[in-house]
Structures are given as C-alpha cells and as structure tokens.
Structure 1
Amino acid sequence: MTTALSIEADPYILPLPEPDSPVVMDRWISAGNTYSNSLYSDDIWSLGPLTDNPGDSLHKINLRKCPAALRSEVRRVLWVLINGELRPTYIRERGFQNRTRDGVISMRDCIIQWMKFARWLDRQGVSRLSDCTMEHWKAYAAKIASSGCGRGHALTVLRWLSDMWAFDQLSASPCGITRPPWEDEGIDDYLPAETGDGSGENKTEPLDPAVIGPLLTWSIRLVEDFSGDILAAWDERRRMHAQVKSAKATREGLAAVKSYLLPLINSGAPLPATVSRLHGVTLGHHYVAAIAGASWTQVHSFATRLGLRRLTAQRPGPSPMQVPVTGRIEGRPWREFMDYEETPILVRHLGTAAAIVILYLTGMRPQEAQSLRSGCCPDPKPNPDGTMPRHLIRSHHYKNVRDSDGHHVSAGEERTVPWVAIMPVVNAIRVLEQMVPEGELLFSSAHHDIVGQRKQRGALKRSSLGRRIEDLVSWINQEAIAHGLPDQQVPPDPHGNLGLSRLRRTLAWHIARRPGGLVALAIQYGHMRTALDARTSTGYGSRERRGFHGELDVETALAAAATAARLRDAAAAGEKISGPAARRAIVGAASIPSFEGALTTPKAAAKFLARDGLVLFDNPDAFLICAFKRDTALCDPDPGATAPNQFACQLGCGNAIRTDGHAQAAREHADRLDARAALMPQPLGDRLRLTAGRFRTLAETHDATAQTAEEALA
C-alpha cells in the first residue's frame, strides 16, 4: 500500500478517487471549457472537459463495455490515465515522440485497446488484473501480430498496453498489473515482420481529375453565382416561418386558406408539397399558412377534413416564393423560382460548397478549416503605392501543438504565418459569414444544421462534412442533367468516397502534375503555386517540418521523374530532341534509375529537386520540357526556387527542349486554332491565325534542329 508520505514525496502518484470525484481533474480543464464533467462512479465518462478543438467530436468512455469482474480495476487505471503524467524516465526510453500525457484522441484510442485487452482477459478466465501473467501478455501480443495489422500499428498497440502497466504504477493503490515482457526483452520479437513498405509515402489517394474538376466548378458556381438567390430565399423562408409561428386563427385567415387551396383542388393542379418523416409526401402546411396569412392549425384542420395528404401525394407541386432569381447557368436562369421547401437543402449544399472551395484552394487541414470564425479574413487596406495586398486568413492550427510541458493543447494555437486567400476563397468566407453570427465559427453546427435544426455545439464534424460532400455530388449530378450539361457531372471516384483529407492531397497532386492544365478554371495554379513556391507559409501545419510543402515536393519530384522517364523512353524509341538544354535534359533523364523508388519522402524529394539544371518539368501548354536551371530561366523564378514558374514560360529560354511529340502536338493545336478562326469575325480570326502560325514555327524550328540523343550528347 502506498503511504501518504510517499504520495507527497512522489508528485506523479495520484490519490484514490472517491465515487463523487470528477473524472477530469480541474488542472486539466481549460478556462473556456464549459462541457459537463462526469463523476468517477458513473458508467459513462465524457471526455468533453478535455476537448477544446471545435472540430473534434465529444468522445465518451462506456465502462459497461468492460467485463464486470475487471471493471472496478480498469476504472481506476483509466482515471489515472486521464489525470496522470507518465514519468520522464519512462518516456525517455521510448524516444521523443512519446509524451508524459497525450491528447484526447490518442487517449481515446488507447482506452479502446485497453478495453479490448480486458475483454480478452475475461475470456481467458482472468478476474483480476494482477492475475495477468507473462503467458497472457505473450499470447495477446501474438494475437495482435497475427491479426494482419501493420508493424507500425502493432508497435503502437503494444506501447499502449505498456502504458496500462506504467499508469497503474502511478495510483496510490496499484492494481498490480505485471510488467509486459517486451519491456525487458525488447519489442521487435513481438511485432509482425516488416512488409518492406517503410517509405513513409502518403498513401492518401488524390481525387481523380475528372472528379475534382466538376466538383470544384459547381462549388464555385454555388458560391459565386447562386449564393445571392439561396441566401435571399433563406431569409424569406425564415420570415414566412416566423409569420406563421406568430399568426392567430381568424375567420379571414381560414377564408384565405380556402380561396388559395380550393381552386387548386378543383382544377386538378399540383398542390404545394413537403416531405414528412412520419407521413412521406404531404401538404406544405407552413407554406400554405404563410401564403394565406393564416395559422398552421387552420391549414392542418382544413387539409385533414378534405384528405389533402393523400391528394398531395398524388399531385405534389412546388412552393414558389416571391424572391427574384438572378443566378445564371450557361446564360440561362438557374431556377424558374426559389422554392420554399427546397431552400433548406440549397443552404446546406451552399455551406458544403464553401467548405470545398476553402479546403481545396488553401490546402488547410479539415480541423483548421473547422476552426475558422467570422472575421478571420478581413479586407486588406491598400498599400501606399495603391496596390492591394493579398487577403490573409488568420486562424488556429492543431497538429503537434503542445504547451511548455510537452502536453497536447486541444485548443491549438493561432498559426504564426496566415494562409493566403485567393478570391474564390474570400468569396466562400463571405458567404459563410452571412450564414452565421459575427464572431461565430464559419461551420458552426448550430447554424449549419439547417434541416434538423438541432442546437449542437462546436463545428460540423468531419463525418458530417463527408456525408454532405456525397450529398452535394448527388445534387450536382441531378442539376447537370436538368440543365442539359451531362459532361459536367461528377463521376464516381476510382478510390471511393471523397474524404476531406483527399482534397488537400489533391491540391498538391494537381499543382505538381498538371502544371499548365485546366482543373475547374485552373484558378489555383496562377495564385497558389506562386504563394507556395515563395514559401509564404513555410512550415505549414508544423513548427518542425515542412508540412504541406514537403508533400508538394514529393508530388513535384514524382511528376518530374515521370517526365524524365518519358523523355528517356521517347529518345530510346528514336524520337529526336531540339532546344538549347537538350544535352542537360538527356543527362537528367539518364539519371532517373538511381532515384526510382526513393522519391516518397520530403527529404528525398527535396534532394532530387535540388539538382539544378537536371530536373525536367513538362509544360504541355507551351509544348516543351523545361530542364530547369535557375540562373538561366526567363520565367523570373524566386530565389532558391527548385521549379520553374510554368505560367510565365518565355520563348527563347535556355532551359527549353522539345521532342518530336511536342512538335506534332504544336501542329495539331495550330490546326485547331485555324478551324476556330474560320468561324470568328475577322479581327479575332486574324489573332487566332497569328497564334497558330507561331506554333507552326516552333514545330518547323524543331524539325530543322532536332538531334538524336546520341548526337545531343556528342
């Protein structure tokens, strides 16, 4: 038994809690946290008092999932986990990534593994934690190793199980959990074999270009073209709803209901319909009451008396509001009228579209976007010379944020370097600011739960946003068909659901892989690449690593390696090469085999890109490959840049090379321009023909100067 004297002498030892002791001690609850605290004797413990990130879900521990025989002891160790700190000596043995105390998400995952272990012990007939023997530990470790999980996951699980023993030592009355054998024998023998995939490559698949193109196009369309109509309709719907809520039953109101509905009923016209969870398609009582200036009860009584629920299901119709439609799609109004019943759904899709624009065009992590608040992106003041600086977004980031004691800070901290916002992002933020009160979270659950109208706390959660994106895709595809734009549908993605993390991954992939192409108007290329190359937000998302830039470097290096491999294969197949950098390009292409398979980490990618003059970047819009050498580049690259500014590619640059394939593509493009010129008025047609002539000149110059790879190296 641990004595009071030893507790006082050892600050890491925690006293035994009482039944009415709080689950989370006051020292771990931030001043602004208002979530209720559970009691030690409760069977369900809330981790809300540890949760300050508005994008995090509120996690709970259900102690009823622990076997009854072990529940009392597991409850004691769990309380120590929540409130204790591991000894520094224990932590030092495990390296810098281990902390004396971790965040609520890691804590939850650890608890899940402890519960699984407790249930397994119960099946082995173990009724006290002190009865867990070395054989039990070894058998359970073997079970984990044979479960098919990766070596890294197995390592994490075994360390969490070790923590169960370590935290037990911090109780004033330990349960007597035995020290796991891998603590003395080493952990390697208890782990599954290496699979050979230890590269650290980001395995999150980017969205297919055929998916992100129409998804971003429609999202921007909703934000910039349709948001005015949607928000005006939402204001009108709320006005009508408030009117009905305050309306009193009068004779005049009932007469107005009859004069509105009876002509529709008698003429066989559709009736304004809504969809009820209980009754399916039924009469839109609120809408009719608002139109007639009556109370909801009067409409309901009249509809029940005439059996309008069944009639409406047979003849469902719209609920038009007196709101002007200003949005256009392909030059036509996108709606004949704004519909009372459709408006909440449109508001929901508008919020989702704004989220897609922000996430994709800033590269924010989902939790960073979830913490954005109204006012986070103020309009900048003009510079003294009259130019306008960029819009900047100031908000919090969360990854690897810890306090001076090394403890995870759930509330995160304001990012030192703000995000750069291009205009589509600014527009999306302005739309969201109209949907929430001043100073509120832009994705506040309470204000975005348009349909359910539940008063939830914090921001929309990742799971909710994920479902909303899938719903938005379904809506987009319906709209594309309805407007005669089948080519603007969002196809199924080859890799499944469109998860939020895939948007950030896709931004890096598209910037690196499609340097001159168009993806949803290509707006991110002309602005984001410049900001990223300038390292405007160096160390994005992390104070210790290059974060998003490292991810971008990996994709850029992989794209450059693919370009070099294509050039090598084309030269081997007999294609000729022209241009002042032909020799350097051949040398760069020949060096690819020594890098293949290694460009999967930011460090390796940065080393590959640092080979000034030997890294090849395809620029299909300019019909050339750039063998980028910083000092001779005419595209005005930033100091220290490892990639060209491909949107400022200049004729006559000493870094350019062309292949026979580029020359042929230039001719084909010239033919297309001539075909378009024939259909244009003379001034426009002349410009197109002039441009076509320039591309043919490029191709002819290539034909006159092209060499084989051997000749270029001679």
Structure 2
Amino acid sequence: MNTQVLITAQLEEDPPVLMNRQLRPDDTRRGSLSRFSDATWDLSPGVFEDHSTMISLNFEVFPEHWRQDVKTYFWHLINDEKIRPLPAGPVEALPSLRTIAFVRPHLLRLITWFETQGIRSLDKATPKILDALLGDLSETDLTYAQKRHILTETRRLWVYRDVVPVSMQLPAAAPWHDERAYDLLGRPPQKRENRTPRISDGTLAPLMGWSIQFVENFADDIVGSYHQYLELIKNEYRHRPVESEQLQASDRKQRLRRTLAALKKADVGLPGRVLADGTREVRWQHLGRLARGPGHSFPKFDSKMIARSGLPIDDNAYLTVPCSAMLDGELWRGRFLAWDEIISLTTHLQTACFVLLTYLSGMRPGEALSLEQDCLILDSKTGLWAVSGIQWKSAKNTNGQKAAEGQQRSVPWIVHPLAAEAVRILTKLSSGRLLFPNSLRPRAIRGLNSPDNLRAGTARTSSQIGTDLVRFIDWVNDYCTSNNRKDSIPADPHGRVSPSRFRRTLAWHIVRRPRGLVAAAIQYGHVATYVTQGYSGSYASGFPDELGFERWLERIDNVQDVEEYLNNGGHLSGPAATELEQRTRLATAKFLGRTIPTRRQANALLSDPTLQVFKGAGMHCVYNQTTALCSRNDQGPALGECRSACSNIARTDGDINELKEMVAELNDDILAPPIRYQRAQLVASTLTKAIHEHESNQNDD
C-alpha cells in the first residue's frame, strides 16, 4: 500500500486536527477538538501564549474544487513531524501553529491565481507557468512582503509534494531553484528608518508622567476601591451561589440599619443617579450590594427606616473607601470613587503599569502580558530588582525545534524600581495566575456569560492593551480639560501609541539621548544601565540587537548630516578634521543607499572604521582607540569624559554654535563660589580658543 493510500485511509477516519501537537493542559475544549471534516479548524488549544488571540483556519474561502485537498495539505503542515527545509529558505524548523495560520491567505492567493489561469491541478505548474506567476505578481498592487510570502508558500507546498493529493503536487523540479526572493522580485523598496516608529518626546514625556502619577500616587485609592468592588459584587444575584442563604426579614433590616449608619458616619448619601429632569432616584441595587441584601425589597419593606436615616440621595453610587491622593493640593477624584468608574480606573492603572514596565525594561509586549504572580525578585546583594518570566521567541526544545509551551528564562530582566513598583501593584490587582488578566471583572457563576472558547490564553492581548492605551490617553486629556490642566498628552505624529513602540523608543533614547530625561527625572543613562544588565543584556532577549540597530541608524544619520554639511561648503576644524572628512566620504560611498541590514547585521557593521564617528557636546569624536584620552578599551569613547587636548576631536559650525552657548552659560554664573568660578573661566577660555581657531581658519578658506 503506497503512502497516498495510507494517508487517505487515515483521513477518512476523521482524525483530530491537532493529533500530533502538544495541547494546553488547562484547556477546557479537549473533548471538542476540531476534526478533519470540520469546515473551520480551531488551533487555539495548541497555542500556549496566554496573550495570544484565537487562531483558526476557515476553508470555506477556498474554491470548492480545491477545498478537500487544501485541508489535507494543512493537516500535514500541522501533524507531519518531518523537518522539510525550503529551497533558499531559512533555518530548518517545523512550522508553528501561528505560522501555519499565516500560510492560509498567501496560499489562497496562489490557488486563486492558478484557478484564474484555468489550471486545476498543480502538476501542470511548469517553470514557464511559474515565471508567468512572477510576471503577474510584479504588476499587482501587493506589497513586496506579500509577494515574497506567495513565493515562500509555493516552495513550502513543493516540499510536501510526497504527502499531498495529486492536485496539489507541484512538478519534481524545485520552483525557481535556489534563487532568492530579491533575485526574483528585485530588491525591496526599503528605507533605512526602523519600521516601528519611536514615540515622540512630546507624547512620551506626559504619558510617562501620568503613568507614574497613577502608580505612585493614585494606586492606593484605586486598589482599595477595586478590592471593595470585588467584595460587593459577590452580593449580586449572578455572582451569588445558588445555595446561598435566604435572608430573614430581621436579618435584612439589621444589615440595612448598619449600612445606613455606616453611610452617615462616612458622610455619604444614599447611592443614586440624576435623572434627565434634574431629580434624583435611589439606586437600590447598589444599596443592596452595600447591605448584602436584596436591594429590590428595600423600597417596599424598609422605606420608613430609610426615610428616618435622613440621608440625601447622592448623584452617583459611590464606594466607601476614602480617597487620599492629592494633586496640586486637592483630592484627585473627590472623596470617593464611583461604582460605575472603578473598572475603567483600574484598567487605567493596569495600563499605566504596562507603560512603565515595558518602557523601563525593554520587554516585548507579549512578554509583559504573560507575566505571572511571584515574578518579582530582589537581589539582596546588588539591591537590583529582577523580573522572571516565560520566553516564547527563540524557545527551543531538546530537538532544537520551537518549544510550543515556551521556556522559563534562565536569567531574568533587570528592571528599574518604578517597573518593580508596577509589578507589585499588578500583583495586588490580580487574584489569578496572570498579572494582566483578560478581564478585571470577576466571572459570574450563574446566568449568561461571555463565551470562553474564543482563544486559549486568559491574558490581555496586545490588541486589547493597545486599545487600553488609547483610552488611558483619552481619560488623561479629558481630565486635563475638566480641571484646566496644561499637562495633557498630545497626539503622536506617527499615529496611535501601540505597545510595540515602547521597546523601540527605549532603544532610541539609550542611544540618542544618553544624558536626556525620562519623565520624573529618570536618567536615560540610569535606565540603560538597568536594561542592559542581566537577561535584557543577553542576545536571547533581542534587546542588544535593538540597540545595535538604533546605533547603526544614528551613525548613518550622522554620516548623512556631515556629508550634507560638507557638500554645502561646510568648514571643519580640530586635529581630526581631515580624518572626519575622509571617513564621511568613505562611509557615504559604502553605506548610504544600501538596503537596510537586519539588527544582527547592523550590530556587526558598527565596528566598521568609517563609522567610528560620534557626536558629542560641541564636537565630533573621530574615534581612534590608540590616541583617545578618554578611553583605552574597545568599548568606544566615553563622551562624558572628553578632553580638549584629544587629537580625535573635529568640529563643524553646528558644534561651534554649541560651544558658544556653553561659554555664555559659564560667563553668566558670576555668583558661583570663587574656586568654581575660576574653573569655569578656564573652561570658557579653552572653548573660546576653539571657537576662534575654527572661525579664523574658516576666514582663511
């Protein structure tokens, strides 16, 4: 019996779709796993990332003639345990379920093209026809990436030709042989900028400021009220056990009496709402929550007791945990938080924690969203805070293949104390395993519930946290408008502040603004020290690649600026002026216009001699290790320790303008103590001499 017959017989038994895949141990759908005959396959039970969205395959989109054979192909993609390297492809690996889900739209485009050509069996796909496919792709409006994916899926289909049905079997010769995508499609139209835009300083500074405000100032008020919310909601019908006791009338009255007395003592009125005509009515359900009794029965049986209490009707239903956080000398949100706003405020606090955690650690969004309880560690010897977690990207099993269940990090992230405080607050907010649960509302124990089979994980997704960020910024801006504040968060020029932008922004600030400030006066250099220690500094984290890539972009920007300056007749001065011009011309010829490298390639190219030029304060360091006065190692210059006598210094007109500003500041400091003033004058004299030499040589030119 040949292979195809065996496969057909196996599939006729309608096997599970995830027959050879590891399943989540806590998944509740194991008894209803998708079968081969289903029109849609749910792959989520085999996805271990808690922050993952639902992953599924819908085969109804394929032409009916191809549908069954396409399903057979995908079943083998999922369950075939043989490693099948692609021609001109990446490192050998079994495709992950997420990769397989990404195959579908590109395979659909491929199948649709063959269908429009009247080709209903892929064994007819001769080299001439495949070249025609390339020609048609070049004329479509698809992006370069989409075209490349179609080529990849053609080759992936070819390597499975021994197990797929005849109609899906490409000819024996490998499609396009070993030619790479850019040989077939041409070089991609790439720019040298990072595709993920950094968050602008104008947006980041107030965003960080308000995030810190929530974590350091508002958190106690929100956490206290949220915990009361969790206790009170247990008194609602949907959250109360079916077998809970039925209150006797005397117990109901006693509880209500105690509640009314407590409200009066706290100077809180009856929970209410303001109607359209300006009158107020009692919100009996919330009074029932507070009294742990049936709120609907109070107006019928206990109206006299309520009237005798003399309590007014409030404009809202308030929780009774008093607020204490002050902002500009006043309570930030009134004396109490309202029942209706506590979930949104708690979500805003959770979002603020996410901002601090990701920006001050360099974590990927998914890594932060997958953090669990007890992940925070304090090293008693160094005093540094660390966060442990599960690594998904680059996680390998003993066979060298992707570990679907992830791996515990061998070395944790080293984080800033503010990020550690964010983790502590998240721990207080979460009663479950995850620090970023999908919902802060407790799940009802009876009545209607939202479906629980949408995805495997129970953490917040990147998409959800992205929406949370938008709502957080909107809340801050509304708050600023209502309170006439000037520190609102302006819109970012590059659009929505997405979760993935924090990691790139941190890398940019570490490289470009080493002496700058994060909101609340956290030095970027300080943050850089934390982030680049421990796990975040290892290549498994990917963050050093981010830094290398950002440094590459900085160097190329610098080359371009100096090149433009020289082409416009700019003058250079200083002992390294000639060397700076030579390196700039060589780097321009060598790198400008070059296809953007990968992050690892950028890191390697940073050692190129022509790129060893660093912009400092009032000068350019044309670094030469043997002559540098600031540093004698291979780590590059210490720009904060630059000495005026160093032979590596060169200056442009822009540098001279910076020196003039420094001299003006030094001369203005006339009230400084004598010793410091004399030192300042010496420095000013040295800088003035550099200015004079630059301008004198410029006039000579």
TM-score by length of 1: 0.77
1:610 matched to 2:601? The reply is no
Q: What residue is the counterpart of 1:252 in the other structure?
A: 253
Q: Relative contact order, CA 8 A, sep 6+: which one is greater?
A: 2
> Is residue 23–residue 46 contact of structure 2 (8 Å, CA) maintained in 1?
yes
Does 251-260 or 347-356 show the bigger shift?
A: 251-260
> Is residue 225–residue 327 contact of structure 1 (8 Å, CA) maintained in 2?
yes
Kindly state the Cα deviation for residue 352 of structure 1 after the two structures are TM-superposed. Answer: 1.2
Q: What residue is the counterpart of 1:679 in the other structure?
A: none
Aligned to 1:21, the other structure's residue is in SS state coil
Q: 1:703 to 1:224 in 2, by over 3 A?
A: same
- 2: CA distance between counterparts of 1:49 and 1:197? 39
Kindly state the Cα deviation for residue 52 of structure 1 after the two structures are TM-superposed. Answer: 1.4
> Is residue 387–residue 412 contact of structure 2 (8 Å, CA) maintained in 1?
yes
2:438 pairs, out of 429, 445, 452, with 445
1:410-445 deviation line (CA, Å, top 9, x unaligned):
22223343221111111111111112237x122222
Matched to 2:423, the amino acid is I
2:186 pairs, out of 165, 180, 194, with 194
- 1: CA distance between counterparts of 2:668 and 2:293? 63
Aligned to 2:272, the other structure's residue is in SS state strand
Q: 1:574 to 1:123 in 2, by over 3 A?
A: closer
Matched to 1:484, the amino acid is N
Q: How many aligned residue pairs are there?
A: 652
Give matches, 1:163-562, under 5 Å: 163-171=156-164, 174-179=165-170, 183-186=174-177, 193-195=185-187, 197=189, 202-243=194-235, 248=247, 250=249, 252=253, 272-273=272-273, 284-291=283-290, 294-298=293-297, 317-339=315-337, 340-381=339-380, 383=381, 388-437=382-431, 440-447=433-440, 457-486=457-486, 488-521=487-520, 523=522, 525-531=524-530, 537-541=536-540, 547-562=542-557
Matched to 2:62, the amino acid is C
> Is residue 86–residue 166 contact of structure 1 (8 Å, CA) maintained in 2?
no
Q: What residue is the counterpart of 1:666 in the other structure?
A: 662
Q: What residue is the counterpart of 2:310 in the other structure?
A: none
- 2: CA distance between counterparts of 1:370 and 1:343? 21
Kindly state the Cα deviation for residue 75 of structure 1 after the two structures are TM-superposed. Answer: 2.2
- 2: CA distance between counterparts of 1:709 and 1:603? 42
> Is residue 272–residue 282 contact of structure 2 (8 Å, CA) maintained in 1?
yes
Q: What residue is the counterpart of 2:61 in the other structure?
A: 65
Aligned to 2:11, the other structure's residue is in SS state coil
1:166-187 deviation line (CA, Å, top 9, x unaligned):
435215xx24324169835548
> Is residue 666–residue 698 contact of structure 1 (8 Å, CA) maintained in 2?
no
Instruction: Structure 2: give runs of 5+ residues left out of the alignment.
Output: 241-245, 303-312
Aligned to 1:497, the other structure's residue is in SS state coil
TM-score by length of 2: 0.78
- 2: CA distance between counterparts of 1:31 and 1:322? 41
Q: 1:123 to 1:150 in 2, by over 3 A?
A: closer
Does 492-501 or 444-453 show the bigger shift?
A: 444-453
Kindly state the Cα deviation for residue 108 of structure 1 after the two structures are TM-superposed. Answer: 0.4
Kindly state the Cα deviation for residue 71 of structure 1 after the two structures are TM-superposed. Answer: 2.6
Q: 1:144 to 1:256 in 2, by over 3 A?
A: farther
Kindly state the Cα deviation for residue 523 of structure 1 after the two structures are TM-superposed. Answer: 2.4
Q: What residue is the counterpart of 1:701 in the other structure?
A: 686
Q: 1:223 to 1:118 in 2, by over 3 A?
A: same
Give matches, 1:612-627, under 5 Å: 615-620=612-617, 625-627=620-622
Query: Percent sequence identity over matched residues?
Result: 23
Q: 1:711 to 1:291 in 2, by over 3 A?
A: same
Q: What residue is the counterpart of 2:91 in the other structure?
A: 97
1:284-342 deviation line (CA, Å, top 9, x unaligned):
55433345665232369899xxxxxxxxxxx9933333323232334543222231221
1:514-548 deviation line (CA, Å, top 9, x unaligned):
22222323526133323566786444346xxxx32
- 2: CA distance between counterparts of 1:136 and 1:301? 82
Q: 1:636 to 1:195 in 2, by over 3 A?
A: closer
- 2: CA distance between counterparts of 1:567 and 1:177? 56
Kindly state the Cα deviation for residue 348 of structure 1 after the two structures are TM-superposed. Answer: 0.5
Aligned to 2:152, the other structure's residue is in SS state helix
- 2: CA distance between counterparts of 1:300 and 1:541? 64
> Is residue 414–residue 533 contact of structure 2 (8 Å, CA) maintained in 1?
no
- 2: CA distance between counterparts of 1:539 and 1:148? 40
Matched to 1:364, the amino acid is M
- 1: CA distance between counterparts of 2:449 and 2:534? 42
Q: 1:169 to 1:661 in 2, by over 3 A?
A: same
> Is residue 271–residue 286 contact of structure 2 (8 Å, CA) maintained in 1?
no
Matched to 1:353, the amino acid is A
Aligned to 1:471, the other structure's residue is in SS state helix
1:75 matched to 2:71? The reply is yes
> Is residue 41–residue 56 contact of structure 2 (8 Å, CA) maintained in 1?
yes
Matched to 2:634, the amino acid is G
> Is residue 586–residue 610 contact of structure 2 (8 Å, CA) maintained in 1?
no
- 2: CA distance between counterparts of 1:711 and 1:496? 46
Q: What residue is the counterpart of 1:54 in the other structure?
A: 50
1:552-584 deviation line (CA, Å, top 9, x unaligned):
123224334544655676787677856x77776
The CA RMSD measured in Å over matched residues stands at: 4.6
Matched to 1:485, the amino acid is R
Matched to 2:461, the amino acid is K
> Is residue 579–residue 622 contact of structure 2 (8 Å, CA) maintained in 1?
yes
Kindly state the Cα deviation for residue 378 of structure 1 after the two structures are TM-superposed. Answer: 1.4
- 2: CA distance between counterparts of 1:691 and 1:286? 70
- 1: CA distance between counterparts of 2:554 and 2:110? 45
Instruction: Structure 1: give runs of 5+ residues left out of the alignment.
Output: 8-12, 264-268, 276-280, 304-314, 675-684
Q: 1:74 to 1:244 in 2, by over 3 A?
A: closer
Matched to 2:212, the amino acid is I
Matched to 2:174, the amino acid is E
Q: 1:691 to 1:197 in 2, by over 3 A?
A: farther
Kindly state the Cα deviation for residue 393 of structure 1 after the two structures are TM-superposed. Answer: 2.1
- 2: CA distance between counterparts of 1:474 and 1:468? 10
- 1: CA distance between counterparts of 2:74 and 2:498? 32
1:36-63 deviation line (CA, Å, top 9, x unaligned):
3212222221112321122222211223
Matched to 2:472, the amino acid is L
> Is residue 401–residue 408 contact of structure 1 (8 Å, CA) maintained in 2?
yes
Q: 1:565 to 1:233 in 2, by over 3 A?
A: same
> Is residue 54–residue 458 contact of structure 1 (8 Å, CA) maintained in 2?
yes
